[in-house]
Amino acid sequence: MNFTEMTGGSYAAFSASQFLERKINSFEYNIPVVVYEIDEGIFSKVKNKAEDYFGSDAKIITADGDTQKLKEVPFVDTLIIQPVPYIERKRFGFGDLVEIIRRLRDPDGCPWDRAQTYDSIRACAIEEAYELVEAVELKDKDKILEESGDVMLQGLFHASIAEDNGDFNFNDMISALAYKLVSRHTHIFGAHKAANEEQALNFWEKAKAKEKGQKSVGDKLDSVPKTFSALMRALKVQKIIKKTGFEFPSVDNALDKVREETAEFAEATDNLEEEAGDLLFSVVNLLRMHRIDPEIALNATIDKFIRRFLYVDQKAREAGVALEECSLETMEDWYQEYKRLYEHSCR
């Protein structure tokens, strides 16, 4: 069969067995993709994978030259998947995403996208990361899908800026990430064996330290970003220090430290800010020993408090009274009422 003649030029070709391999998961959507030597026994698997990547409405040229939608094709031993302009597609590949971002930043592209720099969009990465975390906490699969893409977009957008600046390009970014994943997972791609999560993390940390030339605790502490939130930075620093053996013998000792710092804060007449920092640091330490992320825990409590107080606000409006005119006792009664009515764990 003359694929060049049927496709009209360049094409990517895979035998059916190759096409079904897990490692074959990236395709060039702008030239025809040919899948040949399809046995009847695996045709459904080939078709399912093709529909997943190209869409069930993808245009197919069969061996006799007919054009059909992929979902309508009966058994054939060869599929020729025709390219469609990306603005007309419903399924896309990584290359399409790169091209779309490049197009947005072309000289005649989107004025906003063209104007962005590393600095101007740095806050977007933080915002999108928090929105993804919220989606996970809500267990909203559709939102997780959307926000995961938004987080990925931030890295790709920086790569586009870098490409325009001549700093690095998309392939450099992907290659660096892939190399890091392989080189740091020595227990998967190297000689080490990890029996559990803790050992796996230990191998990762050792490979990371070697890669970055971190020879001392100071080197590792210097690598903790100062742009982290205070809770995140405290947790990261404490995890590094723990590996030196400088750690409370037990959770009870950590709890005693929280009590000690609480008392010192209560008794302080000056340096309140310093004492407050010591108290917060000791609380983070206690939570870490309980395997609780303080950032997540605090955000959950903030959300809970907002829900409760919005009920207080609702009750005040129902009573026709401004919140500022309600007594503390009345507001507390409504606050506790919400807990009784809507929080089963508090019954």
Phi, psi of 272 (to 5 degrees): -60, -40
pLDDT at 8: 67
Nearest to 163 by CA among 118, 208, 112: 118
User: Does residue 337 lie within any of the structural domains?
Assistant: yes
147, 168, 189 - which closes a domain: 168
120, 147, 168 - which closes a domain: 168
The tens-digit pLDDT sequence of the chain (347 residues) is 567 666 667 899 999 999 999 999 989 888 999 999 999 999 999 999 999 999 999 999 876 777 899 999 989 899 999 998 888 888 998 999 999 999 999 999 999 999 999 999 998 998 999 899 889 989 999 999 999 999 999 999 999 999 999 999 999 999 999 999 999 999 999 999 999 998 998 898 889 888 888 888 998 999 898 988 999 999 999 999 998 999 999 999 999 999 999 999 999 999 999 999 999 999 999 999 999 999 889 988 999 999 999 999 999 999 999 999 999 999 999 999 999 998 865 43
pLDDT at 69: 92
d(CA 245, CA 55): 54
Q: Are residues 76 and 29 in the same domain?
A: yes
pLDDT at 344: 64
Q: Are residues 272 and 319 in the same domain?
A: no
For the four alpha carbons of 254, 259, 261 and 262, in that order, the dihedral sign comes to positive
Q: Are residues 298 and 281 in the same domain?
A: no
Give the largest Cα separation in the chain, rounded: 90
d(CA 341, CA 347): 8
Q: Are 238 and 285 spatial neighbours (Cβ–Cβ below 8 Å)? A: yes
pLDDT at 347: 39
The whole domain housing 227 covers: 206-289
* CB-CB neighbours of 107 under 10 Å: 5
User: Does residue 187 lie within any of the structural domains?
Assistant: no
Q: Are 315 and 338 spatial neighbours (Cβ–Cβ below 8 Å)? A: no
Q: Are residues 9 and 83 in the same domain?
A: yes
Q: Are residues 211 and 285 in the same domain?
A: yes
Q: Are 189 and 182 spatial neighbours (Cβ–Cβ below 8 Å)? A: yes
What's the DSSP call for residue 250? S
Question: What is the domain count for the chain?
Answer: 4
User: Does residue 176 lie within any of the structural domains?
Assistant: no
Residue type, 41: G
User: Does residue 159 lie within any of the structural domains?
Assistant: yes
Q: Are residues 300 and 337 in the same domain?
A: yes
User: Does residue 180 lie within any of the structural domains?
Assistant: no
Q: 248: left (phi > 0), else alpha (psi -120 to 50), else beta? A: beta
d(CA 43, CA 14): 14
pLDDT at 5: 65
Where does the chain have alpha helices with state H? 3-7, 16-19, 43-54, 94-104, 111-115, 122-138, 141-165, 170-184, 186-189, 197-212, 217-222, 230-242, 251-267, 272-289, 294-318, 328-342
User: Does residue 299 lie within any of the structural domains?
Assistant: yes
289, 313, 337 - which closes a domain: 289
Q: Are residues 99 and 161 in the same domain?
A: yes
User: Does residue 122 lie within any of the structural domains?
Assistant: yes
User: Does residue 10 lie within any of the structural domains?
Assistant: yes
Q: Are residues 106 and 63 in the same domain?
A: no
Where does 243-325 have alpha helices with state H? 251-267, 272-289, 294-318
Q: Are residues 261 and 299 in the same domain?
A: no
d(CA 264, CA 199): 38
Q: Are residues 64 and 121 in the same domain?
A: no
pLDDT at 239: 93
Q: Are residues 78 and 109 in the same domain?
A: no
CATH of the domain at 158: 1.10.287.1080
pLDDT at 211: 86
d(CA 189, CA 183): 7
